[in-house]
Structure 1
Amino acid sequence: MDWTVATYVTYLLVAVPLTVWVAHTLSSNGQVFLEEVFTGNERLAQAVNRLLVVGFYLLNLGFVSLYLRTGGEVVDLRGLLEELSVKIGVVTLVLGVLHFLNVWAFSSMRRRHAMDSFRSAPVAPQGFVPATPYPAP
């Protein structure tokens, strides 16, 4: 096995588990936000959570696959480490951006749900109150 293939294998052995770990963390902690947003509908919260995780996997694993190829031949251990540092660094940055977008999506859903709860009247209408005319000046 040459150094380029070793770089590919090492990259995949780091990037794929890293993606799985971040997805699992987002899924387990995001479930709490979604259960609050979809109050009383736990099945919907779980379904949305699973769909978000699938989308996260598709985006990240697609990026990891596309970014697998190196720019040139890796000839020694130093080249392997340098290539891996760039690749894993970029994958980590992409995971961080997607994590931020996921958290932002959860927060906006939660905020929207909280604002919707303020729109309803706190007390049911008690009846019609006729308008009182203003006195003429």
Structure 2
Amino acid sequence: MDLTVVAYVIYLLISVALTIWVARTLSRNGRIFLASVLKGDEKLADAVNHLLVVGFYLVNFGFVALYLSQDEGVADARRLFEALSVKLGVVLLVLGVMHLGNVYVLNKIRRRGAMDREQRPPVPPQGWVVPGTRA
């Protein structure tokens, strides 16, 4: 068997396994964060969590598939490891960037919700002053 095909198989197996592991970990541990962001609405948190996982899978599996091809053939074991390390390193970086992007967006949503809750005036309005007159 050609070493390039071996590199493809190993790359696909490791990339798919890493993507599934990261998605499950983020889903399991991110549910609590989502419930907090969505003000305790458990059903909505579960639905958003599921949608995020599906999107995570689609983007990452699409990237893994697009990044599969290789310009050069793999001639020996050294080149096999080099090709795998570059490809898997890029996949790990994409997984990390996707995770940080999700956390950033959800944190923005959580902060906006906290600011909306705090925008009640501390004291009810005392009256109305006609513009241009002194009170």
Structure-2-length-normalised TM-score: 0.87
Shift of 1:96: 1.1
Q: Which has the larger radius of gyration?
A: 1
Q: What is the 5 A alignment of 1:26-105?
A: 26-105=26-105
Which of structure 1's runs of 4+ aligned residues deviate more than 4 A? Answer: 128-132
Pick closer, same or farther for the CA change 1:2–1:48 going to 2, 3 Å.
same
Structure-1-length-normalised TM-score: 0.85
Secondary structure of the corresponding residue to residue 118 of structure 2: helix
Secondary structure of the corresponding residue to residue 120 of structure 1: coil
Pick closer, same or farther for the CA change 1:17–1:33 going to 2, 3 Å.
same
Contact persistence 1:11–1:84 (CA under 8 A): yes
Shift of 1:121: 4.8
Q: Unmatched 5+ residue regions in structure 1?
A: none
Pick closer, same or farther for the CA change 1:131–1:78 going to 2, 3 Å.
closer
Q: Unmatched 5+ residue regions in structure 2?
A: none
Between the two proteins, the alignment pairs up a number of residues equal to 132
Name 1:21's counterpart in structure 2.
21
Q: Which amino acid aligns with 1:80?
A: L
Q: Which amino acid aligns with 2:96?
A: G
